């Protein structure tokens, strides 16, 4: 049938010059470039039937390369087409003609329909261009509000500005979910409001101001906040692009991770990314509130330093007016100097680690929440940490916004039961070996090993609860950590491990004896001279003291069930990435 249609279309404008049409199935050509003859035959009967005038012609055919018998020569004579072959070919030809005619009619109809639609769109566009939307002067003056106060403003005429988060167009109505950072509000546009050119061009992420009345939804209908705004006027403030530049095209849900990080400024407009950042703000509020209730004062140490805290290999070095300086790894040393002057203190500061670890739990810049307390014991430090973490979770989950977001992101989250599990480092080594969890080199763990991240996380996930892992060997901990009086091989140190993310807190008691601190400098090969101000804390009225540092992004990854800490900060910085 396809051959018949092709034949019918190929012979347009062709006519025969004799009453006989010649066909050679082997040597002929179905072509309009020459008249049909014995020397220039067609190839197929179907093509010949499509030639104008073919209805009055007779058809002769031959198969010049067909061998009838081994001893015979190929036949070069034309013979009339048999009646049955002609009948079959005519039937196929007629069917093809009918189909072609029907296709042409359908194409014509489609073309007409498309033209009609285009004309309707043109008229609609012209009408929209001509239509000018005006605010009704008889209406009460709209009160400018933020979406977070929508419930308190039900029944009033309000003015709300924000970005189109979602958009749904129906026959006589446009539904917009508006976002302003404080919440979401469903808005309904209808009547004259959808007749404008702006209405035809609305797209997600367009900035818009909408006037109208907020009304509680009837039972059975749902929308953010349980209400919606019935609009009576609006203005477009900043139009977003469409097509290939639309936000849905630039940042698709299944986009590759690096592309999402390149477009982080757009990604954070999404529900999940913005939700994590809102929880982050709530967690910071909760930490500050907890510190205040526990009597700690906030201080702001410097980020540019000339001393190390956690080892020189992870320092970011830079030139400071011709001198060598570094970005701080921790504010701990400065916090210690505050104890005699300000009492127990804390800070919320950025810390920097030039650590070439490309894992889901490492950042080169992270928010470090650090506390330092005077006149405490190691048990006091552990109790304080447990109290702090528990209080923060209590405050965050009491915040309606944070609670709803966490429930959406991490529906299985449960507040850890107290007391938290305590496990000494030596017991952890035994546990790992008993459960056949090997080192990165595939060996059993030994006392003195720095337990690798993978093994530590596997142990924590298997146990399934927070762990205070304590009493690490002196050799694998920082120079300032106090030794355990009952076992000088280990320090009074602690890592707080959480299921799914591993270590989120590192802390210890600090050396309060001057001679012991000088020995710590010597052990690590550190010149004590630049640390004179830190050493003086052991000279001018030393006391037992301890502290800790908590990585906010790791805490959030645990709380919000994020795969990587990169999702828990505004613009992540790690090996190879310092943009946008």
Question: Tens digit of pLDDT for each residue in 329-350?
Answer: 999 999 999 999 999 999 999 9
**ω into 580 cis (within 30 of 0):** yes
Split at pLDDT 50, 70, 90, the class of 18 is low
Phi, psi (5° rounding) for residue 365? -135, 125
Strand partners, 317: 326
Q: Is the pLDDT of residue 257 over 70?
A: yes
| Residue 121 belongs to some domain of the structure | no
> Smallest Cα–Cα separation from 284: which of 506, 497, 559?
559
DSSP 20: E
Share of residues in the chain with pLDDT > 70 (%): 94
Non-local CB neighbours of 486 within 8 Å, separated by 6+ positions = none
End-to-end CA, the chain:
60
Sheet strands (E) in 53-102 = 58-62, 79-80
Q: What is the pLDDT of residue 545?
A: 98
CATH code for position 215: 2.40.50.140
Do 233 and 277 fall within a single domain? no
Q: Is the pLDDT of residue 444 over 90?
A: yes
Q: What is the pLDDT of residue 82?
A: 85
At 184 the three-state DSSP class reads strand
Q: Is the pLDDT of residue 13 over 60?
A: no
Phi, psi (5° rounding) for residue 236? -85, 125
Task: Tell me which of 60, 87, 114 is where a domain ends.
Answer: 60
Q: What is the pLDDT of residue 14?
A: 44
Q: Is the pLDDT of residue 72 over 80?
A: no
Do 282 and 174 fall within a single domain? no
Do 151 and 280 fall within a single domain? no
CATH code for position 332: 3.30.930.10
Min mean pLDDT across 312-321, 472-481, 503-512 is at 312-321
- Tokens, residue 241: 């692009």
- Please indicate whether residue 348 or residue 501 has the higher confidence score (pLDDT): 348
Split at pLDDT 50, 70, 90, the class of 143 is very high
Do 243 and 287 fall within a single domain? no
Helices (H) and strands (E) in the chain, counts: 16, 22
**How far apart are alpha carbons 416 and 419 in whole angstroms?**
9
C-beta of residue 295 within 8 angstroms of C-beta of residue 376: no
Mean pLDDT score of the chain: 90
Q: What is the pLDDT of residue 99?
A: 83
- Tokens, residue 534: 């830190």
Do 183 and 275 fall within a single domain? no
Cα dihedral 308, 312, 316, 318 sign: positive
C-beta of residue 199 within 8 angstroms of C-beta of residue 174: yes
**How far apart are alpha carbons 163 and 208 in whole angstroms?**
6
- Give, in order, the Cα–Cα distances in Å from 414 to each of 213, 390, 556: 40, 12, 14
Q: Is the pLDDT of residue 449 over 80?
A: yes
Q: What is the pLDDT of residue 65?
A: 58
Strand partners, 143: 158
| Residue 156 belongs to some domain of the structure | yes
| Residue 349 belongs to some domain of the structure | yes
| Residue 226 belongs to some domain of the structure | yes
Question: Count of residues for the chain?
Answer: 580
Q: Is the pLDDT of residue 140 over 70?
A: yes
Q: Is the pLDDT of residue 17 over 60?
A: no
| Residue 36 belongs to some domain of the structure | yes
Cα dihedral 21, 26, 27, 30 sign: positive
| Residue 542 belongs to some domain of the structure | yes
| Residue 130 belongs to some domain of the structure | no
Please give the model's pTM, rounded to 2 decimal places: 0.80
Do 299 and 351 fall within a single domain? yes
| Residue 355 belongs to some domain of the structure | yes
Q: What is the pLDDT of residues 157-194, one digit of tens each?
A: 999 999 999 999 988 899 999 999 999 999 999 999 99
Do 299 and 355 fall within a single domain? yes
Do 182 and 50 fall within a single domain? no
C-beta of residue 372 within 8 angstroms of C-beta of residue 345: yes
Do 302 and 407 fall within a single domain? yes
Q: Is the pLDDT of residue 15 over 50?
A: no
Do 276 and 238 fall within a single domain? no
Q: Is the pLDDT of residue 4 over 60?
A: no
At 387 the three-state DSSP class reads helix
Q: What is the pLDDT of residues 406-418, one digit of tens each?
A: 999 999 999 999 9
Do 284 and 384 fall within a single domain? yes
Domain that holds residue 555: 271-417+507-568
Phi, psi (5° rounding) for residue 279? -65, -40
Across the range 395-424, mean pLDDT stands at 95
Do 311 and 377 fall within a single domain? yes
At 267 the three-state DSSP class reads helix
Q: What is the pLDDT of residues 19-59, one digit of tens each?
A: 888 888 888 888 877 788 888 888 888 888 888 777 778 88
Overall domain count for the chain: 3
Q: What is the pLDDT of residues 292-320, one digit of tens each?
A: 999 999 999 999 999 888 767 789 999 99
Q: What is the pLDDT of residue 388?
A: 97
Q: Is the pLDDT of residue 68 over 50?
A: no
Tokens 């109505």 belong to residue: 173
Q: What is the pLDDT of residues 121-130, one digit of tens each?
A: 777 778 778 8
H or E, element range at 260: helix 257-262
């Amino acid at each position: 049938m396809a051959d018949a249609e092709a034949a019918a279309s190929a012979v347009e404008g062709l006519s025969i010059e004799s009453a006989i049409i010649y066909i050679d199935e082997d040597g002929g050509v179905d072509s309009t470039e020459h008249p049909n003859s014995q020397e220039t035959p067609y190839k197929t009967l179907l093509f010949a039937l499509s030639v104008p005038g073919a209805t009055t012609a007779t058809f002769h055919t031959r198969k010049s390369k067909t061998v009838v018998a081994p001893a015979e020569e190929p036949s070069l004579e034309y013979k009339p087409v048999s009646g049955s072959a002609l009948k079959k070919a005519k039937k196929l030809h007629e069917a093809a003609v009918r189909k072609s005619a029907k296709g042409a009619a359908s194409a014509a109809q489609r073309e007409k329909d498309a033209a009609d639609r285009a004309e309707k769109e043109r008229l609609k566009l012209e009408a929209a261009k001509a239509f000018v939307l005006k605010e009704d002067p008889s209406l009460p003056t709209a009160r400018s509000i933020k979406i977070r106060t929508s419930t308190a403003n039900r029944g009033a005429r309000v003015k709300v500005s924000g970005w189109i988060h979602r958009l749904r167009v129906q026959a006589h109505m446009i539904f917009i979910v508006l976002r302003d950072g404080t919440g979401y509000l469903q808005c309904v546009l209808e009547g004259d409001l959808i007749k404008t050119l702006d209405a035809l061009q609305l797209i997600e992420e367009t900035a818009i101001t909408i006037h109208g009345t907020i009304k509680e939804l009837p039972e059975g209908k749902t929308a953010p906040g349980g209400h919606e705004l019935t609009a009576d006027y609006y203005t477009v403030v900043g139009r977003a692009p469409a097509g290939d530049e639309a936000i849905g095209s630039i940042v698709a849900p299944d986009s590759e991770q690096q592309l999402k990080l390149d477009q982080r400024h757009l990604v954070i407009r999404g529900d999940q990314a913005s939700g994590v950042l809102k929880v982050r703000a709530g967690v910071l509020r909760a930490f500050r509130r907890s510190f205040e209730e526990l009597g700690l004062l906030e201080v702001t140490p410097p980020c540019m330093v000339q001393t190390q805290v956690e080892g020189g290999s992870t320092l970011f070095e830079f030139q400071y007016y011709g001198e060598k300086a570094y970005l701080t790894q921790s504010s701990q040393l400065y916090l210690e100097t505050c104890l005699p002057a300000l009492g127990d203190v804390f800070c919320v500061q950025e810390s920097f680690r030039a650590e070439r670890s490309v894992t889901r739990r490492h950042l080169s810049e992270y928010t470090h929440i650090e506390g330092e307390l005077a006149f405490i014991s190691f048990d006091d430090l552990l109790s304080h940490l447990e109290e702090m973490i528990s209080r923060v979770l209590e405050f965050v989950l009491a915040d309606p916004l944070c609670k709803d977001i966490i429930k959406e992101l991490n529906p299985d989250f449960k507040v850890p039961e107290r007391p938290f599990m305590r496990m000494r480092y030596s017991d952890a080594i035994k546990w790992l070996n008993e459960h056949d969890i090997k080192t990165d080199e595939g060996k059993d763990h030994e006392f003195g090993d720095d337990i690798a991240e993978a093994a530590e996380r596997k142990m924590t996930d298997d146990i399934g609860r927070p762990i205070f892992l304590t009493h690490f060997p002196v050799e694998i901990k920082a120079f300032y950590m106090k030794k355990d009086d009952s076992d000088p091989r280990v320090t009074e140190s602690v890592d707080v491990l959480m299921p799914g993310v591993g270590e989120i807190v590192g802390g210890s008691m600090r050396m309060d004896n001057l001679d012991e601190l000088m020995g710590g400098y010597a052990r690590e090969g550190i010149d004590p001279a630049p640390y004179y101000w830190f050493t003086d804390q052991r000279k001018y009225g030393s006391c037992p003291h301890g502290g800790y540092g908590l990585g906010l992004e790791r805490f959030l990854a645990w709380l919000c069930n994020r795969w990587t800490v990169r999702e828990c900060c505004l613009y992540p910085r790690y090996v190879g990435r310092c943009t946008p």
